[in-house]
Amino acid sequence: MKIAIIDYGMGNIHSVAKAVALFKAEPVITNKKNEISFCDKIVLPGVGAFEDAMAELEKQDLISLIKDQIKQKKPFLGICLGMQLLLESSQEAKSSCGLGIFAGEVVKFSHENGLKIPHMGWNNLKVVSDKCPLLQDVVKDSQVYFCHSYYSKPADKTVIGATTDYGIEFASVLWKNNVYATQFHPEKSQTVGLKIMRNFVQLC
């Protein structure tokens, strides 16, 4: 099995590739459209700014490809910024739209209640959908690793697989059909994160 890890200059691609390879899948780090299309599954990692990321995806002519691959029911995983890009818009971006796979927007954490921004470090997962394939065998209140200043606010709450509390309860896992997304970094989340990566690799 080949899993494309989209390399558009804004992702923690090598750590993700190592995590994928642990489960006997072949990671293909690439920004080439034909290679991405040939792979069985796709991962979109991401760190940095929403607007810059969308600009890079557009520059490399990957936006329509990503949408087409998702429409073809190929399993797709967005990680951190890669999750946020799947929404329609972000408060961080004044002049660019997201991929629009999930209806909703990306909003910034408030400094109210003395919250430190970015939200960085370990925090709990509250699984709200025990049917989400990505979360199989993930026990209640498992801890995962976060690093972000913005969070996804989907319009449809039924796509939320798990939430996390950081002053407010925000969506930390999204899931709809063949599309999965995590606000945290599974590749940095030790045993729990590797379970999640295993679940993605083993999806039919």
- Which of these is catalytic: 80, 92, 119, 148? 80
Question: Which of 144, 171, 169 minimizes the C-alpha distance to 160?
Answer: 171
Question: Which of 66, 63, 14 minimizes the C-alpha distance to 37?
Answer: 66
| 156-170 pLDDT tens trace | 999 999 999 999 999
Which pLDDT score is estimated for 13? 92
185 given a catalytic annotation: yes
Task: Report the pLDDT averaged over residues 124-138.
Answer: 94
DSSP assigned state of 136: T
Topology, domain 2-201? Rossmann fold (3.40.50)
68 in Cβ contact with 101 (< 8 Å): no
132 given a catalytic annotation: no
Which pLDDT score is estimated for 59? 96
| 13-26 pLDDT tens trace | 999 999 999 999 99
| 168-189 pLDDT tens trace | 999 999 999 999 999 999 999 9
Looking at the chain, how many residues does it have? 204
| 45-58 pLDDT tens trace | 999 999 999 999 99
Which pLDDT score is estimated for 33? 97
- Which of these is catalytic: 39, 119, 132, 185? 185
Task: Report the pLDDT averaged over residues 136-144.
Answer: 93
Q: Is 85 exposed, middle or buried (0-12, 13-18, 19+ CB in 10 A)?
A: buried
- Which of these is catalytic: 119, 132, 148, 187? 187
Counting residues of the chain whose pLDDT is more than 90, the rounded percentage is 92
Q: What is the pTM of this model?
A: 0.96
Task: Report the pLDDT averaged over residues 137-145.
Answer: 94
Q: Would you kindly state where each structural domain of the chain is located, as residue ranges?
A: 2-201
Question: Which of 73, 74, 100, 101 minimizes the C-alpha distance to 89?
Answer: 100
Model confidence at 199, pLDDT cuts 50, 70, 90, reads very high
Per-residue pLDDT for 115 more than 90? Answer: no
111 given a catalytic annotation: no
What mean pLDDT is reported for the chain? 95
